Amino acid sequence: MAFYCQKCGYRSPKWLGKCPSCGSWDALVEEPEKKRLSKTKEKVQVFKLSEIPKERVFRFVSGISEFDRVLGGGLVPASLILIGGDPGIGKSTLLLQAAQAYLRQGLTVVYLSGEESPAQIRLRAERLGLTEDLYLVAETDLSAALSAVRAFRPQILIVDSIQTVYLPEISSAPGSVSQVREAASALLRYAKEEGVAVFIVGHVTKEGVLAGPRVLEHLVDAVLYFEGERTGPYRILRAIKNRFGALDEIGVFEMTEQGLKPVENPSSFFLSEGTGAIFPSMEGTRPLLVEIQALVVKSHLAAPRRTAVGFDPYRLSMLLAILEKTTGISFFDRDVFLNVAGGLKIKEPAGDLAVCAALLASRLDKRLPNKSVFIGEVGLSGEVRPVMFLESRFKEAQRLGFKRAFCPPLESRSFETSGMQIVSVSFVTEFLGCLS
């Protein structure tokens, strides 16, 4: 017997009031440890890398463009994929639509549900207008379910969800750390031995992280997060781990009465008719144009507010200090509000120049240049540093009708910039003359 934290999976030989790993109180629960019997094999082979034959990676393409993009171009057989997201965000809807798309490609798909009955799944399929005949299994005993699924020899298995299924040989309750870990291990073995691609739906905690032990994310081949506001129409599917594709790749969907529809031109969704600074952000391999809005107003508080939505608030404070130091324009007596329109989150430092442009325009009550984008990282002395993927950013901006790009000095103009006016900015102080 051992004690496991129900939040992070930390193992302790004795009970502790506070988990040393994640800091949660009263989260350690006593659970039996499963004994693993080692199987003796005749001989273990050692290979040289050059002796391993090359294999072409084959993928199942669903035809849902945004879904295939996040998966890296399609679904790889024998892969284990974890999809997490808030309750009601549309995880089951997305997978049901994906299952129908794979069925149209002639693949065999089994949907294992531990949360809904077959009648409920059929009602949802009818509401979404899905007509393909799907194999359904309503069972929470994972061992019995896998025994039944093996008879169909499917190419794709969907498990909804990992917190509801259990293994009978483990005495702890479904959803516990031991059950989630062992159930995921059983699905991993099934996927690799049978060559079946397996989707796993995972619940998230109120902190927004996947429930269960951290080892769950290490076991799977890909981790996808489904993000968005349930009250809004748009959803973002983001890959935070993918052994078969790019990291931080995103797919944008619109939730309608007929289900989720891919948004073919996401940049137009993130842009509005506002007067903010436009920044070509790189999401995986895709450039997306987003609008950064700033509001700088006189503060009547002893400690002026610094609020950032979709941007690191600590980096915002740093950029404000840089602007005040290099330009002499005061921000210490101003409330500053920064917002990334559309709900996107900017993590790369290449958006610093766009943030500074929006802050200066609001502080001086001036307008930014029309049809312009802003790209560049700002250093502590106010210098604008070079960033990566400039060519991809320029092409996306040019495709959407932007004529001018403010960016760091280009060391090489080997890539195509026809139709774009390149304005080199070495220091943020140089940008003040461009405001009207």
Scored b (16 or more CB within 10 A) or e, 273-310 reads: eeebbbbbbbbbebbbbbbbbbebeeeeeeebebebeb
Which residues on adjacent β-strands are paired with residue 220?
none
Q: How many CB atoms lie within 10 A of CB 123?
A: 12
Cα dihedral 415, 416, 422, 425 in deg (nearest 10):
-10
What are the distances in angstroms from CA 152 to CA 101, 111, 157, 207, 290? 19, 12, 11, 39, 46
Which residues on adjacent β-strands are paired with residue 424?
407
Asked whether residue 91 is marked as a ligand-binding residue, the answer is: yes
The DSSP code for 210 is B
**Residue found by looking up tokens 């998966």 in the block:** 71
Asked whether residue 87 is marked as a ligand-binding residue, the answer is: yes
Tokens for 108, please give them: 């065999």
Tokens for 131, please give them: 């007509």
Taking the C-alpha atoms of residue 130 and residue 116, their distance in angstroms, rounded to an integer, is: 17
- Of 80, 345, 375, 391, which Cα lies nearest the Cα of 238? 345
Asked whether residue 85 is marked as a ligand-binding residue, the answer is: yes
End-to-end CA distance of the chain: 71
Interstrand relation of 197-202 and 80-85 (parallel, antiparallel or unpaired): parallel
Asked whether residue 259 is marked as a ligand-binding residue, the answer is: no
**Alpha-helix runs per DSSP H in 105-238:** 118-127, 142-150, 177-194, 215-219
Asked whether residue 221 is marked as a ligand-binding residue, the answer is: no
At a CB cut-off of 8 Å and minimum separation 6, what does 170 contact? 32, 34, 178, 179, 182
Assign residue 434 a region: left if phi > 0, alpha if psi is -120 to 50, beta otherwise? Answer: alpha
At a CB cut-off of 8 Å and minimum separation 6, what does 276 contact? 291, 292, 293, 294, 341, 358, 368
Assign residue 174 a region: left if phi > 0, alpha if psi is -120 to 50, beta otherwise? Answer: beta
Asked whether residue 89 is marked as a ligand-binding residue, the answer is: yes
Taking the C-alpha atoms of residue 315 and residue 323, their distance in angstroms, rounded to an integer, is: 12
Residue 54 burial by CB count (10 A; 0-12/13-18/19+): exposed, middle or buried?
Answer: exposed
| Residues placed in the known binding site | 85-92
Which residues participate in the annotated binding site for ATP? Answer: 85-92
